[in-house]
Amino acid sequence: MQSPTRQVFFLSNGTAITAETLGLSLLAQFPSHHFQTRTIPFVDTLEKAHAVSDEIDRSINQSNQLPIVICTMGDDDLMKIITQSKALVIDPFGDILPRLEKVLASQHLQPGQSHRIVNPSLYESRIDAIDYAMQHDDGGKIQNYDEADIILVGVSRSGKTPSCLYLALQFGIKAANYPITEEDMEYEQLPEPIRPFKQSLYGLTTNLNRLVNIRQERRPDSRYSSVDQCRYELRAVEDMYLRHNIKYINTSEMSVEEISARIIRDNELHRVELS
């Protein structure tokens, strides 16, 4: 039985990234329910808090169901206003901060500042990594591969670009990617530009159906998106990975987040220090 749609609010006086990330993880535990989520960042004045609280209350009239609010509000007065709304209000910091305070033996600040720039050198590392990923996307620039923390290889549309960008943005990791073309597949050796960097290579592959579907959206009814062509390319790259002893993963069931987390783990990549 499909439940009716339930309203869920992710609130914060900051970016609301923490409330949203935690909230979505929690909701994923209830797959038989249908949720309509709304993220409201920068609820940073009494006026805005009252407006949001009113909005939460109005949503009850529409759906006749108790709304859920996940709220990492960095101000007790603001939090109080949200708590007074007619909803299940969850304050993830509320239970945890006192326990941390006890161990650290010091008072916490008010939350809501965690996604500001705290560490300028971390910011610089991310920006450098993004520059690197942009320049070295899709074999665009084949110099400076020696600077790469990792070089992703794979056929067109196997997830190389999003993974490189996520690694750069989220973790400050310098990731290049090099597409294995049909021409490359005809040779036993690795393509010349990546041959000296075997230790930095990591292969992506995917399922036949998924590749066909993704390519069909780009170039419908073309040779590029045909079953035969996709099957040939996937076999050829997987043979290449095995022949040259290149670690690889099948990305077809994975989100960009999961691909990136596995690449970091499998290659013991050094992430930029986060705090």
Give the footprint of a copy of itself on residues 127-186 (CB under 8 A): 127, 130-131, 134, 137, 161-162, 165-166, 169
The SS3 assignment for 1 reads coil
**Pick from 45, 58, 63, 118: which binds a copy of itself (CB under 8 A)?**
118
42 near a copy of itself, rule: CB under 8 A: yes
Q: How far is the CB of 96 from a copy of itself (least distance, A)?
A: 6
**Pick from 56, 68, 150, 204: which binds a copy of itself (CB under 8 A)?**
68
The contacts of residue 146 (CB under 8 Å, 6+ apart) are 197
Instruction: Give the residue carrying structure tokens 């990305």.
Output: 251
DSSP code of 32? T
| Two structure tokens written together for 253 | 């069931």
Burial of 269 (0-12, 13-18, 19+ CB in 10 A): middle
In the bound state with a copy of itself, the residue whose beta carbon lies nearer, of 126 and 141, is 126
In the bound state with a copy of itself, the residue whose beta carbon lies nearer, of 15 and 236, is 15
**Pick from 4, 64, 77, 99: which binds a copy of itself (CB under 8 A)?**
99
Q: Please state, in angstroms and rounded to a whole number, the distance separating the CA atoms of residues 155 and 13.
A: 43
In the bound state with a copy of itself, the residue whose beta carbon lies nearer, of 168 and 190, is 168
Q: Please state, in angstroms and rounded to a whole number, the distance separating the CA atoms of residues 259 and 171.
A: 13
Q: How far is the CB of 240 from a copy of itself (least distance, A)?
A: 24
Residues 85, 57: contact at Cβ < 8 Å?
yes
- Map the footprint of a copy of itself across residues 10-39, applying CB under 8 A: 14-18, 20-22, 24-33, 35, 37, 39
Q: How far is the CB of 234 from a copy of itself (least distance, A)?
A: 18
C-alpha distances out from residue 192 to 178, 196, 266, Å: 11, 8, 24
In the bound state with a copy of itself, the residue whose beta carbon lies nearer, of 129 and 240, is 129
Q: Please state, in angstroms and rounded to a whole number, the distance separating the CA atoms of residues 234 and 153.
A: 12
- Map the footprint of a copy of itself across residues 234-273, applying CB under 8 A: 253-258, 260-262, 264-265, 271, 273
109 near a copy of itself, rule: CB under 8 A: yes
Query: How many Å from the N-terminal Cα to the C-terminal Cα in the chain?
Result: 45
Q: How far is the CB of 149 from a copy of itself (least distance, A)?
A: 16
**Pick from 124, 147, 192, 239: which binds a copy of itself (CB under 8 A)?**
124
User: Quick one: CA dihedral 207, 208, 211, 217, positive or negative?
Assistant: negative
- Tell me, by CB under 8 A, how many residues bind a copy of itself: 80
51 near a copy of itself, rule: CB under 8 A: no
